[in-house]
């Protein structure tokens, strides 16, 4: 995620990164403050998109910070396949820097 933030900074896009260490309790105040400052949200998670922590965080943002958003919440998650053992296949299944950068571009434009 930090690599994506650095790449975005090189393009003139200032990305704020929040590393949620726990989901319970979820630090909703920090998330809401970030959305209030940036007016955007890209949620990155190595879990599958369906039923993932990213889904919960996205739902909370939509419920609690909807009027602060200038773009829909983007989620960048793993492919909905069993995580493969082979390194190249694992990289293809997990979110990569390019995926995060593309999601950030979608919410900025």
Every domain of the chain and the residues it spans: 2-108
User: 47: closest CA among 82, 16, 21, 98?
Assistant: 82
Tens of pLDDT, residues 14-39: 999 999 999 899 999 999 999 999 99
The confidence score (pLDDT) of residue 1 equals 82
For residue 42, list its beta bridge partners: 74
The reply to whether CATH 3.40.50.300 applies to domain 2-108 is: no
| Parts of the chain with a pLDDT under 70 | none
Q: Is the peptide bond before 25 cis (omega within 30 degrees of 0)?
A: yes
The confidence score (pLDDT) of residue 39 equals 97
Beta-carbon neighbour count of residue 2 at 10 Å? 10
The confidence score (pLDDT) of residue 15 equals 95
Q: Report DSSP state, residue 66.
A: G
pTM assigned to the model: 0.92
């Amino acid at each position: 995620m930090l690599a994506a933030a650095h790449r975005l900074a090189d393009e003139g896009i200032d990305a704020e990164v929040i590393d949620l260490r726990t989901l319970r309790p979820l630090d909703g105040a920090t998330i809401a403050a970030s959305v209030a400052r940036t007016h955007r949200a890209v949620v990155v998670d190595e879990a599958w998109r369906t039923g993932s922590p990213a889904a919960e965080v996205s739902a909370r943002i939509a419920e609690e910070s909807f009027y602060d958003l200038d773009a829909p919440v983007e989620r960048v998650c793993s492919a909905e396949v069993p995580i493969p053992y082979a390194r190249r296949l694992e990289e293809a299944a997990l979110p990569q820097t390019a995926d995060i950068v593309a999601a950030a571009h979608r919410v900025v434009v």
